[in-house]
Structure 1
């Protein structure tokens, strides 16, 4: 069997194991937990956590089983960095699975009713755990940047939607999104937790995005140093070796992306009522960071396509127009915040997929380089630069 077929086969084994573990665990929990922990929302939390744990364990096994970086043959720093990367990716998957499964369980409970649905919870969680185990194992074995980018909107929409549906303030949207998280209720905690996890995931994905830009840059420099011609592939990204002040640009880009993630974390960590100053610093600082990042994108990341720069400018123009309409009294601040948040998350997903495209083009260039190079290709050859996300790195 080839690599993809082996990944699918191992994913099926993971499906069965995760299904049985989650189903048995939830059955034991439902039979032995005290009454206070059988409240509907707490059961959903435990069930979602069980599914998330199964999915993350499946991901870790699938991602680390073929890794060469954990052997210690490349020094002490490489295994530590690889462990950090595995933990970071696990956080992204855990957040996505937990919030998405909780939202699905809540919807199913509303459709069937608590009395009927409670008897199905162990096996429903088992099925979801099996699906999560299958998907995460296959994705871990075939990991790329597009996979990571596609996870971000899932748990953000799941978390915010669940918070909006379960809040005891039906008129929160008349003010702004901060009012949805400005309480000590379950809905407020769900909303704030979603923002915190979104910020963490933005920082994690930014780390891999910047790593890819630097990997492409190193590849170009290695080609130049090898005195062999680089492959002539029409759709290769712009030669990073021609970018002046490359280290400064990527550093500033990483700082802006990390600060954007920290802003999300700060908004979720500091509610408005007890911490109005800190909350406003993060909430009002995020649009400023967005403007600087999107306007300066052509200089910060010249490897991206021109269409990306046009989309960035359009996003700023739409948010500015919505803000003007709000100041005139014809719109609500909630709508402006929702538009700005969706625009940024949408932009970030497109940005991540652009980085993934650069990675794919670089891999193609490396294959062409191998075919065009003569003689033995050893481990020091510039073609051996690999993807940071690759499971077998």
Structure 2
């Protein structure tokens, strides 16, 4: 096994090192952040109670849940930015110290945006559910202070720990959660309840909050995919250095394709169908092409990955071809085809990351059989 060169990234969590976990310092800082933010939350709760007494927990207009979501978004932005910056030197993440300033800025921006949006949406959902259990309840001054302190303090704690142990698999989970939650939010808030009768991209064609959420999700998701590519490159370079992947050029090749895919995804949101149909369609097709290239080039560029991974990749490719045939045969609508392709792309990303994390690891059954075999005479 060859040792990594001095310029290679440190071995990240997914290539055999222990999974990224928050250290004592990160745990302590998360608690301090929660306590400090809880005090700020109490002050924000007092201000809300004084200006808007007896607010409902949730509603279509201004509500306590809306005020809490705004506070959670601000707290998540501060906690994620600070935590991500301070976690660069933790075990398994030292390679981030060698990133160029613009790459680190893009990575930090995408991580912050995702945590801000998830924190805001999660807070809105929590208070929406609470409002269904306490119908007609107006939030008093005491509960405004208490609930806001708990909401903002818990947000700071969870977000700080999340960014302190980000690795490729956690980044993949964040990407999936962000895309799914953002898309579902746009679906349930769209002004046209029959949007699905036209096409998926119709969600982003309104001058309304729902379209802002939909297009913003695609733009931020694309930015996160480009960040994702940096983590994938680091993992694959470690696997190449350890001799687990055969082709030395595979990390750069795969990461560039992911970057292009991320740019194309962002452009789908930047150019909605009602703004520029041509650029919108070209961006969507470009994303699909990058997906196909990643699948088709796998046997050559990813030699060393488990055989099961390649079987699953061909299954994704077959599902894509079958979906295209059924769409051409008018078995289902354009909306259904777009959603299927969307799901296949992000489903494959999740599978790819899971197999990347176990590449080169010995099979436990084989290990047990070899250890039980008597030594040769």
Other-structure match for 2:61 = 40
CA offsets, 1:229-267, max 9 Å, x none? xxxxxxxxx534x42xx23x3333222211211121111
Counterpart check, 1:96 vs 2:101: no
Aligned-residue CA RMSD in angstroms?
3.5
Tell me: CA distance 1:127–1:356, structure 2 relative to 1, closer, same or farther (3 Å): farther
TM-score by length of 2: 0.73
Maintained 8 Å contact 2:34/2:156: yes
1:12 aligned to 2:12?
no
Q: CA deviation at 1:82?
A: 8.3
Counterpart of 1:58 (choices 61, 79, 87) is 79
Counterparts of 1:122 and 1:324, CA distance in 2: 58
Please give the alpha-carbon distance, in whole angstroms, between the structure 2 residues aligned to 1:179 and 1:42.
Answer: 29
Deviation at 1:89?
3.2
Q: Which residue is 2:5 aligned to?
A: none
Following superposition, the deviation at residue 277 of structure 1 comes to 0.9
Stretch of structure 1 that moved more, 255-264 or 295-304: 295-304
CA distance in 2, matches of 1:266, 1:207: 20
Match of 1:197 in 2: 220
The partner residue of 1:176 within 186, 199, 208 is 199
Match of 2:171 in 1: 148
- For residue 292 of structure 2, what is the aligned residue in structure 1? 291
Q: Structure 1: how far apart are the matches of 2:321 and 2:103?
A: 41
Please give the alpha-carbon distance, in whole angstroms, between the structure 1 residues aligned to 2:302 and 2:319. 22
Distance 1:327 1:301 in 2: 32
Work out whether residues 52 and 129 of structure 1, in 8 Å CA contact, stay in contact via their aligned partners in 2: no
**Distance in 2 between residues matched to 1:3 and 1:264, nearest whole Å:** 31
Equivalent-residue separation in structure 2 for 1:297 and 1:19 (angstroms)? 49
Moved more, 23-32 or 141-150: 23-32
Deviation at 1:171, TM superposition (A): 0.5
When the two structures are superposed, what TM-score results if normalisation uses the length of structure 1?
0.71
Contact 2:221 2:265 in 1 (8 A): yes
Residues 1:152 and 1:330: Cα distance change in structure 2 (over 3 Å): same
Aligned 8 A contact 1:95 1:197 in 2: no
Is 1:312 aligned with 2:333? no
Describe the shift of the 1:273–1:67 C-alpha distance in structure 2 as closer, same or farther (beyond 3 A): closer
Asked whether the equivalents of residues 198 and 335 of structure 2 are also in contact (C-alpha less than 8 Å), the reply is yes
Which residue is 1:239 aligned to?
244
Contact 1:206 1:254 in 2 (8 A): yes
Q: Deviations over 1:168-217 (max 9, x none)?
A: 21110112111111111111111111111111111111111112212343
Residues 280 and 3 (structure 1), Cα distance of their counterparts in 2 relative to 1, 3 Å cut: closer
Q: How does 1:257-296 map to 2 (within 5 A)?
A: 257-296=258-297
Conserved 8 A contact 1:198-1:261: yes
Question: CA, structure 1 residues 105+270, in 2 after alignment: closer, same or farther (shift >3 Å)?
Answer: farther
Task: Please point out which of 200, 210, 221 is paired with 2:233.
Answer: 210
Unaligned segments of structure 1, at least 5 residues: 221-237, 362-393
- In structure 2, relative to structure 1, the CA distance for the partners of 1:81 and 1:162 (3 Å cut) is closer
Contact preservation (8 Å) 1:15, 1:130: yes
In the aligned structure 1, how far is the partner of 2:132 from the partner of 2:213?
18
Q: CA deviation at 1:149?
A: 1.8
Residue correspondences, number: 328
Give me the whole-angstrom Cα distance separating, in 2, the residues matched to 1:122 and 1:193. Answer: 32
Q: 2:180 aligns with which of 135, 142, 157?
A: 157
Q: Hey, what's the Cα distance between the residues in 2 that align with 1:284 and 1:41?
A: 40
CA 1:343 to 1:77, structure 2 compared with 1: closer, same or farther past 3 Å? closer
Change (3 A) 1:118 1:286: farther
Provide the residue aligned with 1:28 in structure 2.
47
Q: Which residue of 2 aligns with 1:186?
A: 209
1:330 counterpart SS class? coil
Give the Cα separation in 1 of the matches to 2:158 and 2:220: 21
Q: Distance in 1 between matches of 2:138 and 2:354?
A: 39
Task: Assess, with a 3 A threshold, how the Cα gap between structure 1 residues 291 and 353 changes in structure 2: closer, same or farther.
Answer: same
* Residue 318 of structure 1, CA deviation: 1.5
1:103/1:159 contact within 8 Å kept: no
Per-residue deviation, residues 79-120 of structure 1 (Å, max 9, x unmatched): 83785354443344334333444454555556656x646667
1:15 to partner: Cα distance: 2.7
The CA distance in 1 between the partners of 2:229 and 2:176, in whole Å, is: 15
